[in-house]
Amino acid sequence: MKSQRIPIALKIKQLVTIIIVGFIVIWFLAPLVLITISAFASPGDYYQIDKVIPTHFTLNQFKSLFFGLEAWKAILTSIKVAGITILLSFIMGLPAGYALSRYIFPGKNFLKLLCLATKMFPLMVLAVPLLIIFMKVGVSDTIWGTSLAHTAMVLPIIILIFSSILSGVSVDYEEAAMIFGLSRIHAFFRITLPLALPGLAASAIFAFMMSWNEVFVATILTLTNRTLPAHILKTAMASPDYLKFTAGFIMAVPAMVFIFFVRKHLVTMWGISLK
Amino acid sequence: MISFSRREKNWIPYLLFLPALIYLAGFIGYPLVKTLQLAFTSEEGKVGIENFITLTRDSTFWKALKNTLYLLIAIVPLQVILAFLLALFVNGRFKGYMTVLYIICIPLALSDVSAALMSYNIFTSHGFLNKLLMKFGFIDAPIYFFGLGLSSRAFWVIVLTELWRATPLVFIILLASLQVISKDYFEAADVFGFSSWQKFIHITLPLTMPSLQSALLIRTLFAFQIFAVVWLLSGRDIPILAGEVYYQQAELINFRLAATYGFIIALICILLSWVYLTFLKTKHLEV
Amino acid sequence: MLKRFIVVLIICMLLTSAAFAAEVLNFASTQMVPAAEQIFAKSVLIKGFSDESGIKVEFIPMEDPDMFTRVSAEVAAQKVTISLVGDLHGGLDLMNTKALFDDLSGISLPNRTFIKALEDYSVMAGKKVYVPWMQATYVMAVNKKAFQYLPADLKVEDVTGASEKWTYDALLNWSKNLNEAFKGPKLGFPMGPKGLWHRFLHGYIYPSFTGYQAASFDSEQAVKLWEYLKELRPYMHPSSSVWESMDEPLLKEEVLIAWDHTARVKNAVIEKPADFAIVPAPRGPQGRGYITVAVGLAIPVEAPQKDNAVKLIDYLTSPDIQVKMLENIGFFPTIKEAEGVIPEGPLKILATGVLAQSGSPDSVIAMIPSLGAKGGEFSAAYRDTFTKIVIEGADIGTTITTAGDKLRAIFKEVGVPLL
């Protein structure tokens, strides 16, 4: 009796798992699949109310978005802004993260708390004064202005991520290297950094996405040098639906690619950074 | 670690942290002070609470505050429960759980603009939902989700969108904490003949509590920053605090009122953080 | 894998920033901002000019308030980057009062005659501030199906010919009929965040009911106006509050009657010329209020590329281009040479409607007031009043008194006479 019941119970468990997985996959993927369909659907099919799944596809929306509305420029701007943001936050974040992971010093917890506390202030609180300051200095509406603001958003989180990534690299290697006569700086660059590299690269991508997705500050700080989401929010909105869908799709593509690249670090990245 | 650092002068860590600290002081600290200053300066340049009086007399402010809180109440608890269930499920490590993890995490990297457009694609008058319902004869004419006097429908669309978009964030935090629970606890529980439910109540829940609380806090703070989803789906039909900052700043070019709204958001965030930290006694800050 | 990815990313970034230093003429415009118009401006207008002259031009679409802030900031900082400004008469007028523009009387634009009235508008206190570029207005677009449901005493000719019977009350009855026949409201307005709904309120219905845009904002007649809108409200399509351009809902047949800017209904007429008629706005007790939009081109003082800017003006006001603009984006010519070439085909429908409106004897013409950075607050005053009274059911009297005070304060602050 018993030997028969166990397989059935197992099968039921398997079935339940499959059903739940099915639900999860549909719930999380459906919007992505649907916007992909809409992005390529011809406007004619979209406006036909009895046509659920379009049958005619076109690249016209992409053409008008990329060239007519010059979204390619906005994409370049987005990449540049994100690049500068990564660069700046790495330059300042690495030493700071190192300090948190390798030293014990008075005020350490306060600094950690400070990094966390920056999350209490939504970026939109800072946007208005930043705009006024940038206007005075002359960097409003430049790639630099947006990058500087994005760095302020990314840096505290990057410091915390670095601190935990570097903590994950055992001190022993570094100490061993120092016993063999390497200075601390050399030990860091020769030993610790290469070991931490995969994690750091994933953090770069994390920073990239934060900057790529940020729309509020980018909209307020710029008029002409708009990043992609800001550009879309400002110009593609008073436009036909099919253009909006294409815009949404274009913005989603990098996200899917990025998540794929960092999929092994997902738990470390978000789990730690937001803990 | 202690012995390791004693060998060197103790100003080094401060030096290492200094650039970041200066930067944050300049780009977060200073603007915050400026916001404060702007919020407390009247149009004629007098210092006072005039802006706050203007604001509280405007019914839009109260609506924005109310809507923001309603969104918070509708989204956050659902999100945390959903995320917890998902995390427990994925932590079961069935075959192919990594793929499921990847799929759940895709919305993590999506911008809110993009997420809003995806839900617009589904819920608009010629969207998939309406077309599908009409195809199968459930309805004769499209159901409108966005528009005059339809803000309660739009509200639920926004809630759905936010659930879709931001649940993974909570999920990943909870999963991270589930993954570090030692198997020993469960093995011990097996010895004592605990049921699955008992294991959950006595082992899983207490051990994930700190993460649960911090997820709650993070989500609450982020809920005050919901902007693009609401703005794109309902315009100002559903005014919210963050949307008003944008509106005052970008459409009306009223820096003072924009800063006043910003200040109020910051104030509520600080207050809520304090409440959470005090009453939930979370220890998550000791990373 | 990851490492290479990052390296490629950084290289791309550096390469693109290096290639960004070419000398271009910045042409900032508050017109042609919506997607379709912007695509036309960039890929036809500007491209045509660059191909012809070899001058590189950057078309910068801007919102009204941004334009004023930006140009005045640039002139004040003596770092002018914008060489040509395209804006509404009102915006240019205001910027001119701050002495931000050159006198353009010296430039010669051969082979064209500007329409007299527009030419006169562009000269302010003896200074030629701008060159008239385009004109536009807002009209009603009607799906011909709707004509079957006209109220008993109203004929199609009354509507298309702007007769005395084509009133706001007639519109209300007509919308009621449509609502019954189609089991749902079929009248639509562009009330979305980027829609031009406020123009309807201050430039159409207000002058029609009170004779002025703002001067009698909280008068007895205004109370009637708001009562009227409350009555009309059930027949307005609920999605109005998300629409920003009415051509789409017209084409989808979500509405059968719509009001919008000529450029924003034009697509419907082009796509299905047989289905639509463009008709004048209805009249109210004080006449037929409507807005005439004059758009001009001006050159900021100390603009870096003045000569090229003049060449661009020359190009943009040439007869060919003027006709092209009408055909493609529904903005009307400012020169006589192009006025005669009103096209056959779909756009004739648009032109007929516009002419019927401007030719109506009971016209109360409104110009969009020049409030610069306060323009946003001006529009908001009308929109908010609508939301409060019509959507939320606030008391009419108190609401319009408060909003009226606010409006008067705005005009006083900017220093323009109340319209």
Q: C299 near C87, Cβ under 8 Å? A: no
Predicted pLDDT of residue C210:
96
Q: Is ipTM > 0.90 here?
A: no
Predicted pLDDT of residue C408:
94
Residues 226-245 of B with CB under 8 A from A: 227-228, 231-232, 242, 245
Q: Is the pLDDT of residue A236 over 70?
A: no
Query: Token pair 């166990």 is at which residue?
Result: A6
- For CA atoms B87, B92, B97, B98, give the dihedral sign: positive
Average pLDDT, chain C: 89
The residue among C339 and C218 whose pLDDT is bigger is C218
pLDDT in tens, C105-141: 989 898 899 988 888 889 988 899 999 999 999 999 9
Rounded-to-integer distance, Cα B35 and Cα B29, Å = 10
Q: Is the pLDDT of residue B68 over 90?
A: yes
C238 in contact with chain B, both atoms CB, cutoff 8 A: yes
Residues 55-114 of A with CB under 8 A from B: 88, 91-93, 95-96, 98-100, 102-105, 107-109, 111-114
Identify residues of A whose CB sits under 8 angstroms from chain C CBs.
47, 49, 64, 67-70, 76, 79-80, 83-84, 87, 135, 138, 143, 197-198, 201-202, 204-205, 208, 223-224, 235-241, 243, 261
Q: Is the pLDDT of residue B62 over 80?
A: yes
The residue among C255 and B228 whose pLDDT is bigger is C255
Nearest chain B Cα distance for residue C331, angstroms: 25
The average pLDDT across B116-131 equals: 92
Cα B270 to chain centroid distance, Å, stands at 15
Phi-psi region of C415 (alpha: psi -120 to 50; beta: other; left: phi over 0): left
pLDDT in tens, A206-226: 889 889 888 888 887 887 788
| Contact between chains at A25 and B111 (C-beta distance less than 8 A) | no
Rounded-to-integer distance, Cα C401 and Cα A147, Å = 46
Exposure string over C140-156, b if 16+ CB within 10 A, otherwise e: bbbbeebbebbbeebee
Q: Is the pLDDT of residue B152 over 90?
A: no
pTM over 0.90: no
Residues 138-177 of B with CB under 8 A from A: 142, 164, 168-169, 172-173, 175-177
Tell me the pLDDT band of C318, cut-offs 50, 70 and 90.
very high
pLDDT in tens, A72-122: 989 999 999 999 999 999 999 999 999 998 888 888 888 888 887 887 776
Phi-psi region of A48 (alpha: psi -120 to 50; beta: other; left: phi over 0): beta
C240 in contact with chain B, both atoms CB, cutoff 8 A: yes
CA distances from B65 to A122, A216, B59, B200, C26 (A): 16, 19, 10, 37, 41
B225 in contact with chain A, both atoms CB, cutoff 8 A: yes
Tell me the pLDDT band of A270, cut-offs 50, 70 and 90.
low
A21 in contact with chain B, both atoms CB, cutoff 8 A: yes
Predicted pLDDT of residue B18:
94
Predicted pLDDT of residue C394:
92
Residues 210-269 of A with CB under 8 A from B: 212-216, 219-220, 229, 232-233, 237, 241, 244-245, 247-248, 251-252, 254-256, 258-260, 263, 266-268
Q: Which residues of A touch C67 (CB under 8 A)?
A: none
Q: Which residues of A touch B106 (CB under 8 A)?
A: 28-29, 32, 255-256, 259
- Extract the tokens encoding A46: 């979209």
Q: Angle at CA A255, nearest 5°, toward A254 and A259?
A: 115
Tell me the pLDDT band of C19, cut-offs 50, 70 and 90.
very low
Beta bridge partners of C322: none
| Contact between chains at B125 and C236 (C-beta distance less than 8 A) | no
Predicted pLDDT of residue C151:
95
The residue among A154 and C346 whose pLDDT is bigger is A154
Tell me the pLDDT band of B1, cut-offs 50, 70 and 90.
very low
Phi-psi region of C365 (alpha: psi -120 to 50; beta: other; left: phi over 0): beta
Q: Mean pLDDT lowest for which of A261-270, B16-25, C285-294, C356-365?
A: A261-270
C66, closest residue in chain A (CA to CA): A223
Predicted pLDDT of residue C321:
92
Predicted pLDDT of residue A1:
46
Torsion over CA of C153, C158, C162 and C165, rounded to 10 degrees? -10
Q: C53 near C315, Cβ under 8 Å? A: yes
Q: Which chains touch A (3 or more CB pairs under 8 A)?
A: B, C
Predicted pLDDT of residue C170:
96
Cα C183 to chain centroid distance, Å, stands at 32
Nearest to A127 by CA among A140, A114, A115: A140
Predicted pLDDT of residue C20:
45
Nearest chain C Cα distance for residue A92, angstroms: 18
Tell me the pLDDT band of B280, cut-offs 50, 70 and 90.
low
